[in-house]
Structure 1
C-alpha cells in the first residue's frame, strides 16, 4: 500500500493518491491532474476511484478531469442544494476496496452539508482503522469553519460538533489526513505541520478540548472568517464540473505592457520589486500571496497581463490563477522593467519606518490616515491607537470614506498586505500613499504600545 500526499502551494491544499495491488484512488484532486496520472504510471496502477470529501470553495476540483482521463468513478456526499453532476452520491457506511486497502464512508457534515470523511483500513490487520481523510472537518490543530450557511449557523456548528465525536471515536491510533494545511482560508488556527493522529488532536487541538456541545457552538458562532467573492464561482464550478486549464501563457512584448488596453496588469514580482518601479495602475499581488488575495481583488471578467521576475515565476503564477478559475491570462512580461528608458508610466512606492510613523502620530499631517489592513481578529488583538481598520480584501467598502487627495499610510503585520492594499488605493486614484514597512512587527520590536 502506498499513500502519497500532494500539496498545492499557496492554497495549502492537500490531496492524496492511494494505491494498493495495482488499483488506485485519488482524494480531493486539484485541477492540474497530471501529478496523479504520473503517480499511477509510476506505480503501474489503474485509478478506479476518485473521492471528494466536500464541495470545495477555494479551488477548482480536478475530479471530473480525472474521471475523463481514466474512467474512474467519482464519489461525493449528499448535497441538498444541487447534485454534483459528475459524481455518484455515497452515504454513511458504504465501503470501497482498492486492492488490499479499504475505505469506509463516514458522513461528517458541518463545514458543508455534503462533507464526508473516508476511513482507511488495511485489510491485512483487524485492529481498527489506520487513518482517515477528514476533508475540512478536522485539521491539524483546528476544525472546519461553519459560516457558509449564515441562516443555519447554530445548526451547522452543532452538526460539526457531532461529526467530530464520530472522528474521535475512530481511536487514538488513527492518523488524520486533512484537505488543507496552515495558511488555508478554510481555518485560522491550523498547526504548521501536516501530520497528526486522532490521539494527538484529542489532547492538543483547542476545539477538541471543548466537551460541551453548546459551548462548542458558541465558540464557533464567535469566530470571524472572510468569504472571498470568488468562492461563489468555485462552488458553481465544483457542482457543474470544469474544463482543463488553458495552456500556459506566452511572453509578450514591452509594447503590450506600455499599452495593455483593458487588461489588468498584475505584478507578482514581490513588494520590493514593486516599490522600486512598477507600471502605473498595476495591481501588486506577490506570487506567494496570489491564492489568498487574487479572488478578492481580480475582477473575473477582465483579462490579465502578468508582470514577473522571470519565466518560471510567471508560469507558476498562471498555474495558481488557473487553479482558482482565472483563465483569461493574455501573456506575461518578465525581466527588467522597460518603462523608464521609454519614458513610460513608471511609478515607485515609498516606504515609511517606525520613527516616521511615531512622528506622524505625535504631529499628524493634515488629513492623514493610518490604515491597518490586517484581518479583524488581528486588529482586535492589538493595534496602533488611532489606526483605522479595513481588511485588504474589502478596501472597496472603505475607500469612499477617505479623501483620495489626503495622505494615507498603509500597514499590516509586516508590510506585504499593506503593499497590496497600497496598489489598490493607487488604482482608485489615491495620490499620496506610502507603506509602513515592517508594520506591527516593527512597531512591537521598537517597544511601542498597542491598544
Structure 2
C-alpha cells in the first residue's frame, strides 16, 4: 500500500496519491500533474480514480489534464451552480475500491456547496476509517472559510458546522489529510504540522471546541477574509477545465534590449526585497518569488503579459511554476543581470529604507507624509501605530487611485516584506515619494516594549 502527500510550495496545497493492489487514486491534483503519474508508475500503480474535494478557488485543478494522461475517472461533488464538465458527480455514500482500500464519499458542504470528504478504509479492518481526506472543511488547527456565498452567510456557516460533526463521527483514530497547510489563504489559524487525527483535532482545534451551532455561525460570519481577483478565474477554470501547463517550465531568456522592447503589461522583479530596494529597473514592481502565490493574483489579471527579472535561472523557473499553478502564465521571458546592467551604467531606481527613529520623527508632524500600513485587518486590529493609515497590500491593486502622488508614503507591514511589494506596486504606478519602514511593526514593538 502507498499513501504519499505531494506539497505545492507557495500555495501550501496538499494533494495525495494513494494506492493498493496495482491501482491508485489521486486526491486534489495540481495543474502541473506529471508528478502523480511518475510516482504511480515508479510504484507499479495505475491511476484509476481522480477525486476532487471541491472546486478550488486558489489554484487550477490538474484533474482534467491528469484524466487525459491516464484515462482515470474524475469524481466531484454535486454542484448546484454549474456542472463540472470534466467530472462525474459523486454523492454521499458512493464507494470506490482501490485494491484492498475503499474510499467512501461524504457530502460535507459549507466551505463550498459541492464539497466532499473522502473516508479511507482498509477492507481487512473495515469497522473504522483509517483516514479521511478533508479538503477545505477541516485543517490541522482550523476549519474552512465560509465567505464565498455572501448572500447565504449564516446558512453556509451552519452547513460547515454540520459537516464537521459528520467528520468527527468517523472516530478519534482517523488520520486527517487536509487540502492545505499553514500559509494557505484558505485559513488563518492552521498549525505548522501537516499531520493530525480526528481525536487530536477534537481536543485541540479551537473551532471544534465550539459545540453550539449558533455560536459557531456567529464566529464564522464575523471572520475577515480577502478574495483576490484571481479567485474568479480559478473558479471558472475549475468548472470548465483548465488547459495543460507549458511543456517546459522555464521562461525564455531575454537580453536587456529584449526586456526593454517587449512591451509587457507588467515588469515583475522577483528578487529578494532588499535587492529590489537597493536597485531595480524603472517601472518594475516587486514580487519576491516566494510571495508570488500569495500576491500575483491581486496585481496580475487574466491574459496580462509578464516579464520576469531575477537573480538567477532557478528563480525564473520557480516563478513560472508558481504562475502556472494559478493560470497567470502569459510570461514572455525572463531577464537575469540587474547588477551587471547597473555596472554598465544602466539607470536604476532605489527605494529607501527608514528606521523607527525616523518614523517617530515624522509622526511628530511631518507635512505631506503618510505612514501606510498594508497588513491585513486582523493584524491591524491587534496592534497599530497611532496616526497610520490602512490599506491592505492586495487592495492596492485598485485603491492606489485613492492615494495622492504628490504625497510622501512610508510603507509598513509586520517586517517589511509586504511593504516592499506595496512600494513596488506604487512605484510601477508612477509614485516617486516612497520609502519602506525596515522591520515595520516588529521593529516598532521592539522599540516600545
- Conserved in 1, the CA contact under 8 Å of 2:53 and 2:134? yes
Deviation at 1:311, TM superposition (A): 0.6
- Confirm or deny that 1:146 pairs with 2:146: yes
Q: What residue in structure 2 maps to residue 19 of structure 1?
A: 19
Report the equivalent of 1:171: 171
Aligned to 2:180: 180
Do the aligned partners of 2:414 and 2:441 also contact (CA within 8 Å) in 1?
Answer: yes
Q: Name the SS for the 1:255 alignment partner.
A: helix
SS of alignment partner, residue 155 of structure 1: helix
Tell me the residue number matched to 2:319: 317
Find the aligned partners of 1:256 and 1:326 in 2 and give their Cα distance.
21
Cα distance per residue 1:78-127 (max 9 Å; x no partner)? 00011001100010001110000110011000000000000000111133
Cα distance in 1 for partners of 2:441, 2:82 equals 44
Shift of the 7–192 alpha-carbon distance from structure 1 to 2, 3 Å rule, reads same
1:300-352 alpha-carbon deviations (Å, 9 max, x no partner): 23211111111111001001100000121011012343442454341111001
SS at match of 1:340: helix
SS in 1 for 2:427: helix
CA contact (8 A) 1:258 1:344 kept: no
Q: Displacement of 1:257 after TM fit?
A: 2.5
User: Is 1:299 matched up with 2:315?
Assistant: no
Q: Deviations over 1:148-206 (max 9, x none)?
A: 00001110000000000000000000000000000101111101110000000001000
1:243 positional shift = 1.3
Equivalent in the alignment of 1:197: 197
- Equivalent position SS for 2:339: coil
Q: How much is the aligned-residue C-alpha RMSD, in angstroms?
A: 1.1
- 1:223 aligns to 2:202 (yes or no): no
1:373 maps to 374
User: Take 2:44 and 2:290, find their aligned partners in 1: how far apart are those partners?
Assistant: 34
Structure 2 portions without partners, runs of 5+: none
C-alpha distance in 2 between matches for 1:324 and 1:400:
26
The answer to whether the Cα contact below 8 Å between 1:368 and 1:406 also exists between their aligned partners in 2 is yes
* 106-115 or 258-267, larger mean C-alpha shift: 258-267
Correspondence for 1:252: 254
TM-score by length of 2: 0.98
> Number of residues paired by the alignment?
447
Alignment of 1:108-147 (within 5 A): 108-147=108-147
**8 Å contact kept, 2:230–2:301:** no
Partner of 2:408: 407
Partner of 2:62: 62
Task: Show the 5 A alignment for 1:320-339.
Answer: 320-339=322-341
Q: Secondary structure at the match of 1:446?
A: helix
Structure-1 residue corresponding to 2:420: 419
CA distance in 1, matches of 2:18, 2:275: 42
- Greater Cα offset, 264-273 or 244-253: 244-253
Task: Give 1:84's aligned residue.
Answer: 84
Q: Distance in 2 between matches of 1:401 and 1:48?
A: 53
Deviation at 1:258, TM superposition (A): 3.0
